[in-house]
Copies of this chain bind each other. A is one copy, B any other.
Amino acid sequence: MSKKPDLPQPSATDPFADFLCFSVYSTGLAFNRLYKPLLDRYGLTYLQYLALIALALRGEQTVSELGESLFLESSTVTPLIKRLEAAGTVTRRRDTRDERVVRVSLTDRGKAILEEARCVPLEVMEATGTPPEQLQLLNEQLKALRAKLVTKSD
């Protein structure tokens, strides 16, 4: 009677694993844990590292723009960049045209640290033991999903 065979039902024994939001969440934690000891050597946290990368690749940005780059609110970005400033890796300076905006840019020291840490993401990607094209595909899927989620939360 065409009864359904036992297809490789991914997690029949553990329905908790089937929450996509949880997989995204916990994979993020796993990335964080893998990066942490590698970045410790440069005195950077995971988020601080991402912020420096964003500044390196996109250039000087206002606090708001950096928030958009990192998908963070200004209430998170402000203390973040203050710590980076204290560490001497970025500069904050008020726009003379519009005193409300603060422009953030990498210092030479920030650039130098990024240069030293150049190999870190490669190490992490190799640690995944997954072919690059597959990682790239996953990245594209996640970006598409993120785009949908962002529009739904305004």
Contacts and interface: CB of A to CB of B under 8 A. Distances in A.
A150 B21 contact: no
A149 B127 contact: yes
A1 interface: no
Interface residues of A, number: 58
Q: Assembly of this chain: how many copies?
A: 2
A153 interface: yes
Interface in A87-131: 121, 124-125, 127-130
Main secondary structure of the interface of A (DSSP, over half): helix
A138 B135 contact: no
B139 A20 contact: yes
Contacts of A78: none
A33 interface: yes
Interface of A: 10, 14-35, 37, 46, 50, 53-54, 57-58, 69-72, 121, 124-125, 127-130, 134-136, 138-146, 148-150, 152-153
13 contacts: A10-B139, A16-B54, A19-B139, A20-B125, A20-B138, A23-B146, A24-B27, A26-B70, A26-B146, A27-B146, A29-B71, A31-B149, A128-B148
